[in-house]
A and B are shown apart, each in its own frame.
Chain A
Amino acid sequence: MSVEVLDDGRKRISAPLTSEDVRQLVCGDVVLVSGVAYAARDAAHKKMVELLDAGGSLPFDPVGAMLYYVGPTPEKPGRAVGAAGPTTASRMDKYTPRMLEVGIKGIVGKGGRGPEVREELKKHTAVYMAALGGGGALAALKIKSQKVIAFEELGPEAIREMVFDDFPVWVVNDCLGGNFYADTIKPWRKNELLPEELRLS
């Protein structure tokens, strides 16, 4: 079992994740991620999909694995990692269905996902979670180690194996098709101050 429920309601997870694990994570949950996640962003995703399209396999075992959308700053001497907050997830939307097909179960980034990705998360029983956007320094404290495992030539966009230590994230899109962003802003929108097109009912 890779999901542990803490006394305060937060959930601690570590990869590899199973469908059963993913089903326990619902929109709005605060999750502490520990263990291995693979850092990959735009250029690495493009290359990974090219590899799969050519009949190859990924440079890591994707089954039950977690992806983290990040391109860290170079680490200072004596530090495991530099600033390492999440990057915008929707830029990876085009590649995500392919990643889910080969077994990725959890993704951490920032910002929303498109309807197609939300559907695919449902289909493959996978989860998307958001970390604190722009919180690069805080994120660094929650990453114990990292090493480049592929595409070194991409510099900050190389694929890294990172080891998280209770890295905090919010569940944004669960495997039931939920979308936390849509739900959570509704009570705070002041329709009376906004043009008609921007009102929420």
Chain B
Amino acid sequence: MVREIDGSELTRVVEELCEEICYKVPEEMVDLMKAAREKEESPLAREVLDLIIRNQDLAAEGEYPYCQDTGSTVVFLDIGQEVHITGADVYDSINQGVRQGYKNAYLRASIVGDPIFERKNTGDNTPAFIHTRIVPGDQIRIQVDAKGGGSENKGRHAMLKPSDGLEGVKKFVLETMAIAGPDSCPPGILGVGIGGNFEMVAVAAKRALMRKVGQPNPDPRIAELEADLYEGANALGLGPEALGGTNTVLAVHVEVLPTHIASLPVAVNIECHAHRTGSRVI
């Protein structure tokens, strides 16, 4: 049975999510920040974490967005193969939701229409960066992420050699965090993609960030790698805002993909402490 969903439903959901996430970070971020505050060893870092927690609370009251960079809008759509979207173009519907959400909630328009010539602001934060996947079922899952540019800029991507192995991957991930330093507004999350090919590994890193924060990968070997990278990233000593301390990341999420016999791609997508994402199923 084909289920019909009107494009305006997508618009409504995207609009609501944009409005919500830019003020209120996921509950896990609040809990993890408090846990970091409890275990932080540096006195200055504890003060910094107190400020970040106050910023979370203040933003959640709804008067001021969490961060002035309300991000590029990244949308993950899992469309059930039994769904027929009617009435409007899927991508237009989503962009209309972004347009309305950013205007109604007083969010910043941060997208330029071309990257290199005029760099003129499109004025409404469109277009969103949209990733679609066809999945079984008759529902649509929509996840929206408001991704800050500062942390996004510090991401890195490499085509390692298979002989570099696990150690090579770990070194690359930790180096990326070390280079990012204060520019990436720690303590946030590391989204790591390993495997696939040139473009898939970057998407895997972004998808890793979309997981519920702190939830380990179900594969125990990958979960162990996540734990190692978490320990390593915090051993860097950058701490909150990179002013020194024991909490540089709140979580590390790794996603792996099959790859070519010649390849070992790795990508690291850094998320700042302003992790703003939410999802709905319709």
Contacts and interface: CB of A to CB of B under 8 A. Distances in A.
A160 B239 CA distance: 32
A134 B66 contact: yes
A138 B123 contact: no
Given A76-B106, A155-B123, A193-B231, A137 B237 contact: no
A187 to B, nearest CB: 7
Contacts of B241: 110, 130, 132-133
Contacts of A139: 68
B121 interface: yes
Interface residues of B, number: 55
Contact of B52 (A70, A76, A130, A134): A134
A197 B173 CA distance: 13
Contacts of B170: 195
A68 B204 CA distance: 36
A64 interface: no
A6 B223 CA distance: 49
B68 A73 contact: yes
Interface of A: 43, 70-76, 79, 82-85, 87-88, 90, 110-112, 130, 132-141, 154-157, 170, 180-181, 184-190, 193-195, 197-198, 200
Contact of A138 (B58, B107, B110): B58
B236 A189 contact: yes
Interface centre among B42, B110, B243 (most CB of A within 10 A): B243
B183 interface: yes
A138 B58 CA distance: 7
B102 to A, nearest CB: 9
B75 to A, nearest CB: 20
Interface in B153-202: 153, 167, 170-171, 174-175, 178, 181-183, 185
Interface in B91-141: 106-110, 119, 121, 123
Contact of A135 (B55, B106, B153, B235): B55
Interface in B62-96: 63-70
Given A88-B153, A110-B185, A188-B244, A195 B64 contact: no
Contacts, number: 174
B68 A110 contact: no
A186 B66 CA distance: 30
Interface in B223-271: 231-232, 235-239, 241-246
A134 B67 contact: yes
- Which of B64, B235, B239, B272 has the largest number of chain A CB atoms within 10 A? B64
Nearest to A170: B243
A5 B39 CA distance: 32
A185 B239 contact: yes
B63 A157 contact: no
B64 A193 contact: no
The 10 closest A-B pairs by CB, nearest first: A188-B237, A189-B237, A111-B183, A184-B244, A137-B64, A193-B235, A190-B235, A133-B185, A134-B185, A83-B68
A188 B182 contact: no
